[in-house]
Structure 1
Amino acid sequence: MFEAKRLHPAAIIFNLIKTIREFLFAIILGFITFRDESLLYFGLILAGLVIIFIVSSVLTWYRYTYRIEDDELRIEYGVFIRKKRYISKNRIQSIDLTSGIIHRIFKLTKVQIETAGSGTSAEASLSAVKLAEGEALRTELKTSASRQAAEGEFPEEIAEELNPSSTISFKRLFIAGTTSGSIGVIMALAAAGFSELEQFIPESFYDETLEWVIGLGIIIVMAMAIFILLLLWLLGIAGTMIKYGKFTITKTENELFITRGLLEKKQSTIPLKRIQAVGIQESVIRQPLGYVTVFAEIAGGSMDKGEDFSSILFPIMKRDEVELFLETFLPDYAGIQHELTPLPRRARKFYILRSSVLFLLIVAVVATFLPSFVWVPILLLMVGGIFLGWLRHRDGGFNVEGQRLTIRHRVFSRNTIMLYHKRIQAFEKKQHKVQRLQRLASMTLSIVGTMGTGTHFTIKDLEETHTDELSDWYSRRN
């Protein structure tokens, strides 16, 4: 791989899409501004911009080359100003392959290379290379010759034992979709989209539609609402199955290798040394059914991976299967502590009060716009706030076992976090006046998170003596 290579010509399409996306807001704003009188001029300007975008995309592709030489990935790019980037093999933390719909049509993949110093974007990104070429790059950059020789000495059966793998079943994938709770996200996105499109809808059409809906009668309106909710629920199921379809996790000597996605296939590498903590998440819907999600907090990385892709170790499994999963893939975190030191009873009132504040704000909004029906949300939301506060208090707790700390807390989902002393970057104790009178205190633990920023875990209203004991444990004071 010493000869400089260009990306696949399909990279021109990706460069063009990226450029248009960056200017999309300006294009929409220009259309709204000039749509009445100067639409012709706007069309001419837009045509000129498209030509410039196409020429720029072609030149960007032509001037972008990469090669591997002297244990380095060497990239040269730039149309007018040439830039050179050399990335040593020793600095590479992970190499991820992503294949979107267009990639899969041409049998291509996108290669993203991350180092410990990656910020908001990957250290290097090859937007379009042949799939075989991408896999060869990953092998060349991440696997040493000695390791290849060692792996070649083992029979296939032994290699499978050394590299255990687990794949999600269709049944579990369907359960993950039905219990994902994504219907709320879809409804929020739909509401936001409608609020943006509302200004383009003629007022007369809007009023006529509203009158037509009101004239249908309460039964038909309720049936339509149920149908829409069912449709959104099915869309949520489809979205989850597309996102996590064919989810497979494989362990190698020093890494976890994750593959997932039906339409957009993603392959991610997680070095074991970058795992800062392992967590078990139980949503309000999944907890009664006994299902959990296993995730990890990863140090470094970049925003290019998208929504929490690197942290999901397995999207859904039975609670009693987690121990075997950890023994297989992360034996250092096996031995889950179920009996934790609970929060004191006198802290319960603070949890209920804090949980009720959010619901009271929702009641205030409803009272402003629908004052005649305000008693309904008051009753429901107050009960919901009290119940959520009770759950948060009941589920909070901690356990110290040697160098490992287990903490459990809840916002809406219950999270059990397991981390080691050496991974904790900071310990903070907080105590306001009321807590001091009640002999309570809050603690916050900080670890290194995505992009090198801090990830924080907070448990409020612990016994003050317990907080001091945890502080002594962290500071290694006897």
Structure 2
Amino acid sequence: MFEAKRLHPAAILFNLIKTVREFLFAIILGFISFRDESMLYFLLITAGFLVIFMITSILTWYRYTYRVEDDELRIEYGVFIRKKRYISKNRIQSIDLTSGVIHRIFGLTKVQIETAGTGTGAEASLSAVKMAEGEALREELKTGGAQQADDMDTVDDPPEQTNPSQTISFKRLFIAGTTSGSVGVILALAVAGFSELEEFIPNSFYDNTIEWVIGLGIVILIVMAIGALILLWLLGIAGTIIKNGNFTITKNHDELFITRGLLEKKQLTIPLKRIQAVGIQESIIRQPLGFVTVYAEVAGGSMDKGEDFSSTLFPIMKREEVEPFLETFLPDYAGIQQELTPLPKRARMFYIFRASIIFLILTAVVGFWNPSFIWMPLVLLVGSMILGVMRHRDGGFHQHGEQLTIRHRSFSRNTIMMYHKRIQAFEKKQHKIQSQQQLATMRLSIIGSMGTGTHFAIKDLEESLTDELGDWYSYRS
């Protein structure tokens, strides 16, 4: 693949959309500001900028070329200043293919290439290539070190084995949507969006709407509120199904391939050697039902993956299905979930205090200024105290040989399994009250996404056990 190639012409459209999206807020603000007598001038100026954006997108596409030569991906780009980027095959950690709605219409895909030094963005991104070309490029770039190993190996290859694969069912996907707890997230986004648009709403329309809402009966308001919550719940289900539709995980030698998405199809690659820890998450809603989410903390990577800070290995499964899943896809992490050493009973008061202190102060303030509404913070206070008890009950660890399992809870309960060689730092923290109670906080650090650290902490652990874990980490035991 020595011949330099250009991206598919659809990349012109993607570049134009990206540019317009960056200026979208300014366009909306200009439309609102000049919507009266100056509208004609605004439209002319906007049309002029669109022409400039189109010309720039065409030139950017024309000047962007890529090729594979001498075990390197060589990219040349730049309209006025020519830039060259060479990426060695040996540095490439993962190659992901993403196909949005427009990509799938034209049979295209977006190729994202990540290396060990990848930050917030991918090391290289080919925004639009033919699907067959993207798959061929991925295979070509993956044959770097592997081909050399094959040439040196004189032993006959073992019989080819089938690659294990697992796909989520629609029933499980629907359960994942109904128990995702995304109603609060969508509601928060809606409130934030309304607060941004509120200043553009005419005062007369705003006042009339408020008067109309106040004039409605209490029963109608309750029905409307319930209807709004049901709508947000349905939107959460739809979002989960669209994001994780056809979720499939496949193991191929030393890599995991994950394919997901209905509208935007993503194909993610996770090299096993980059997995730093494996986690099992149980939300407050899913835990009583026996459902969990399995995820991995992967070193490096970028925010372009759209995986937040952890990579989901499987969106939802029964708790008893986790062990067979790990035995199939991550056998090194199978069998290390043991009965955990719990936190000492005297640590419970610290957990309750930390969880409820804000609501305790809020209850005192409301009780002083408006005692008739004190029941509202009291409900939150009781809920926070229950959460504190749950955090204390769920905290713990288990160490055996080179393996360490820890469990903690913020709102969801997380069980994290890791190996000694993956832990980058161990820290023991202790304030004066903890010292008097012979308690301590243990903090572990591993390499996380974007090359930054991911940290786990268990608070108010028995001090002697914290010291033992410190000796284990430092090979002093």
Note whether the superposition's TM-score is higher than 0.5.
Answer: yes
Question: 2:294 aligns to what SS in structure 1?
Answer: strand
Question: Could you tell me which amino acid in structure 2 is paired with residue 233 of structure 1?
Answer: W
Provide the aligned length of Structure 1 versus Structure 2.
472
What is the letter of the counterpart of residue 384 of structure 1? G
In 2, the alpha carbon distance for the partners of 1:166 and 1:7 equals 33
* Secondary structure at the counterpart of residue 454 of structure 2: strand
Alpha carbons of 1:399 and 1:309: their partners in 2 closer, same or farther (altered >3 Å)? Answer: closer
Bigger shift: residues 23-32 or 101-110: 23-32
Which SS does the other structure have where 2:171 is aligned?
Answer: helix
* Partner of residue 81, structure 1: 81
Separation of aligned partners in 1, 2:247 and 2:10: 27
Q: Counterpart in 2 of 1:393?
A: 392
Match of 2:171 in 1: 171
The reply on whether 1:379 has 2:378 as its aligned counterpart is: yes
Q: Contact 2:310–2:449 (CA<8 Å) still a contact in 1?
A: no
Shift of 1:405: 0.6
Letter in 2 for 1:82: R
Q: Deviations over 1:213-257 (max 9, x none)?
A: 222211111111111101110110000010000000001111011
Alignment TM-score, normalising by the size of structure 2: 0.94
Name the aligned partner's letter for residue 159 of structure 1: Q
Question: What displacement does 1:45 show?
Answer: 2.3
Do residues 159 (structure 1) and 161 (structure 2) align?
yes
Aligned-pair distance for 1:46? Answer: 1.9
Gaps of 5+ in 1: none
Q: Residue deviations 1:61-91, cap 9 Å, x none?
A: 0000011111111111000111111111111
Aligned to 2:453: 454
Deviation at 1:153, TM superposition (A): 7.4
Which residue does the alignment assign to 2:467? Answer: 468
Residue 365 and residue 234 in structure 1: after superposition, are their counterparts in 2 closer, same or farther (change >3 A)? farther
Give the equivalent residue in structure 1 for 2:191: 191
CA distance in 2, matches of 1:333, 1:46: 57
Pairing 1:46–2:43 present: no
CA pair 290-186 structure 1, distance change in 2 beyond 3 A: same
State the AA in 1 paired with 2:83: K
Match of residue 295 from structure 1: 295
- Provide the residue aligned with 1:405 in structure 2: 404
CA 1:59–1:374 in structure 2 vs 1: closer, same or farther (change >3 Å)? same
Q: In the alignment, what sits opposite 1:417?
A: 416
Check conservation: 2:71, 2:89, Cα contact below 8 A: yes
Q: Aligned pair in 2 of structure 1 residues 113, 412: CA closer, same or farther (>3 Å)?
A: same
User: 2:476 — aligned with what?
Assistant: 477
Letter in structure 2 aligned against 1:433? K
Question: CA shift at 1:358, angstroms?
Answer: 4.3
Tell me how far apart the structure 1 counterparts of residues 248 and 150 of structure 2 sit (CA, whole Å): 23
Cα displacement (A) at 1:359: 3.6
Q: CA deviation at 1:25?
A: 3.2
Once the two structures are superposed, what CA deviation does each residue of 1:328-385 show, in whole Å capped at 9, x if it has no partner?
A: 10011011424111111111111001111344577689889x9576323222101101
Matched to 1:298, the amino acid is V
Indicate if the aligned counterparts of 1:302 and 1:450 stay in contact, CA closer than 8 A. Answer: yes
Aligned pairs for 1:109-128 within 5 A: 109-128=109-128
Does structure 1 residue 202 correspond to structure 2 residue 194? no
Shift of 1:324: 0.5
Q: Which residue of 1 aligns with 2:139?
A: 139
Cα deviation digits, residues 14-67 of structure 1 (max 9, x gap): 111111222233334444554456443333322221111111000000000011
1:303: how far off? Answer: 1.3
| SS in structure 2 of the partner of residue 159 of structure 1 | coil
For residue 56 of structure 1, give the secondary structure of its aligned residue in structure 2. helix
Query: Could you tell me which residue of structure 1 aligns to residue 17 of structure 2?
Result: 17
Distance in 2 between residues matched to 1:13 and 1:281, nearest whole Å = 40
What SS does the corresponding residue of 1:337 show, helix, strand or coil?
Answer: coil
Report sequence identity in percent: 76
Q: Counterpart of 1:90?
A: 90
Cα distance in 2 for partners of 1:214, 1:119 equals 50
> Could you tell me whether the CA contact under 8 Å between 2:336 and 2:403 is conserved in 1?
no
* Contact 1:268/1:310 (<8 A) preserved: no
Aligned to 1:328: 328
> Match for residue 62 of structure 1?
62
* Residue of structure 2 equivalent to 1:275: 275
2: CA distance, partners of 1:336 / 1:365 = 48
Q: Distance in 2 between matches of 1:365 and 1:213?
A: 30
SS at the partner of 1:452? Answer: coil
Where 1:462 maps in the other structure, the secondary structure is strand
What is the CA–CA distance in structure 2 between the aligned matches of 1:358 and 1:320, rounded to whole Å?
37
Cα distance, 1:201 vs. partner?
1.8
What is the alpha-carbon root mean square deviation over aligned residues? 2.2
One-letter amino acid matched to 2:137: L
Once residues 219 and 37 of structure 2 are traced to their aligned partners in structure 1, the CA distance between those partners, rounded to angstroms, is 47
Task: Give the Cα–Cα distance (whole angstroms) in 1 for the partners of residues 84 and 448 of structure 2.
Answer: 29
The answer to whether the 8 A contact 1:75-1:85 is kept is yes
1:323 CA displacement: 0.4
- SS of equivalent residue, structure 2 residue 219: helix
TM-score, length-normalised on structure 1? 0.94
Unaligned runs of 5+ in 2: none
| 1:203 shift after superposition | 1.9
Whether 1:227 aligns to 2:227 is: yes
Equivalent-residue separation in structure 2 for 1:204 and 1:367 (angstroms): 37
2:264 aligned partner: 264
Supply the distance in 2 between the matched residues of 1:18 and 1:198 (Cα, whole angstroms).
Answer: 26
